[in-house]
């Protein structure tokens, strides 16, 4: 039971750590007159992906847990698309912005395809990590350029300036909570996989991925209830891009990541999710993901999970 307690405690630390990091960083950035839009594109996007980042870095540096580094990202992107967008669309149809349809969503489709192609030799190498990181640089440049040229297309929360000492305390405390949380989760998840005789890839794809996706889930569902569901789409797509092109890239640069059995199917399912986002949006004149699309997402992920569990020895 101790491992389950450690995982729950770790997830709690990850959630609070991410919130403290975003609040402190946003308040500090606003103190130096950085615009809300730039804060949203950088600090907030990084903050919601911070749980995946820290868990991945811990998994990458610890021998024998590299499967978790890969499946945490693939699983998180699956859950982001199928569960978070699905649940959000069921609550309230999800609107899309032109910039997302033309650039962000297609790039989120390219992400799993790029990982699949780069890992065909059985490992995601340090060179592969650098290639993925170049995509991330392109993504950040394009989004910041778009915000500068078309600020009216973007929306962001209104961040208030914060005293430097308070912001620093929140940032340091948030980072500490993230690191401790990840240190609790990775060994406990590995122990659970060993105890039940299942691969670490399955645990990483499900339990760890769901836990690290909790900040995106909370943000998106709350936005849907407030009828600001367009925030959910930007949040999820941005997180999916961050996860692959920054977090997975950084993990591979630290140490080469051997692939696991079943990674091809998992990446195809992930890419299919991004493709469905585009298809659902372009299926109507309003360019929204309607409630029926949300139901389809939830049903597909449920079917995938049942199949995944049924294939376990």
Give the domain ranges of the chain.
Answer: 2-310
Report residue 178 as tokens.
């993230």
pLDDT at 135 over 90: yes
Higher pLDDT among residues 292 and 219, named by residue: 292
Report residue 300 as tokens.
């597909």
CB within 8 Å of 279: residues ≥ 6 apart: none
Q: In this predicted structure, what is the pLDDT of residue 37?
A: 55
In whole numbers, what is the pLDDT of the chain averaged over residues? 82
- At residue 262 the predicted structure's pLDDT band, cuts being 50, 70 and 90, is confident
Q: In this predicted structure, what is the pLDDT of residue 284?
A: 92
Q: In this predicted structure, what is the pLDDT of residue 133?
A: 96
pLDDT at 153 over 90: no
User: pTM higher than 0.85 for the full model?
Assistant: no
Q: In this predicted structure, what is the pLDDT of residue 271?
A: 96
Higher pLDDT among residues 295 and 217, named by residue: 295
pLDDT at 95 over 80: yes
pLDDT at 226 over 80: no
Query: Of 7, 5, 54, which Cα lies nearest the Cα of 184?
Result: 7
pLDDT at 141 over 80: yes
Query: What residue ranges in the chain does DSSP mark as E strands?
Result: 94-95, 123-124, 257-258, 288-289
261 burial class (0-12, 13-18, 19+ CB within 10 angstroms)? exposed
pLDDT at 2 over 60: yes
Mean pLDDT on 206-224: 71
CB within 8 Å of 222: residues ≥ 6 apart: none
Q: DSSP assignment, residue 159?
A: P
Query: Of 49, 84, 114, 24, which Cα lies nearest the Cα of 224?
Result: 84
Report residue 148 as tokens.
């500068």
Higher pLDDT among residues 218 and 27, named by residue: 27
Mean pLDDT on 92-96: 86
Higher pLDDT among residues 276 and 99, named by residue: 276
Residue 221 CB neighbours (<10 A): 18
Q: How far apart are CA 221 and CA 224, in angstroms?
A: 5
Mean pLDDT on 246-273: 92
Residue found under tokens 């980072």: 175
Higher pLDDT among residues 214 and 74, named by residue: 74
Could you say which architecture CATH assigns to the domain 2-310?
A: Up-down Bundle (1.20)
């Amino acid at each position: 039971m101790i491992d389950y307690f450690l995982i729950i405690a770790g997830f709690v630390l990850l959630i609070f750590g991410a919130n403290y990091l975003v609040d402190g960083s946003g308040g500090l950035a606003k103190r130096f007159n950085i615009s809300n839009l730039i804060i949203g594109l950088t600090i907030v996007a990084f903050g919601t992906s911070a749980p995946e980042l820290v868990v991945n870095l811990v998994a990458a540096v610890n021998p024998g847990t590299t499967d978790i580094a890969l499946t945490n990202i693939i699983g998180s992107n699956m859950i982001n698309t199928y569960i978070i967008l699905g649940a959000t669309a069921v609550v309230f149809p999800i609107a899309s912005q032109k910039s997302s349809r033309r650039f962000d969503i297609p790039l989120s489709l390219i992400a799993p395809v790029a990982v699949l192609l780069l890992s065909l030799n059985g490992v995601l190498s340090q060179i592969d990590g650098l290639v993925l990181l170049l995509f991330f640089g392109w993504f950040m440049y394009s989004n910041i350029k778009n915000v500068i040229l078309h600020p009216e297309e973007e929306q962001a929360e209104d961040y208030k300036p914060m005293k430097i000492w308070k912001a620093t305390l929140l940032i340091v405390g948030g980072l500490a909570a993230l690191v401790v949380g990840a240190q609790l989760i990775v060994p406990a998840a590995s122990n659970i996989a060993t105890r039940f005789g299942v691969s670490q890839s399955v645990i990483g794809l499900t339990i760890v991925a769901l836990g690290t996706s909790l900040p995106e889930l909370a943000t998106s569902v709350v936005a849907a209830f407030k009828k600001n569901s367009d925030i959910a789409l930007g949040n999820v797509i941005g997180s999916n891009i961050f996860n692959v092109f920054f977090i997975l890239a950084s993990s591979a640069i630290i140490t080469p990541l051997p692939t696991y059995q079943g990674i091809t199917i998992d990446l195809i399912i992930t890419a299919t999710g991004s493709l469905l986002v585009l298809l659902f949006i372009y299926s109507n004149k309003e360019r929204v993901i309607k409630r029926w699309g949300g139901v389809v997402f939830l049903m597909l992920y449920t079917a995938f999970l049942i199949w995944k569990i049924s294939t376990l020895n």
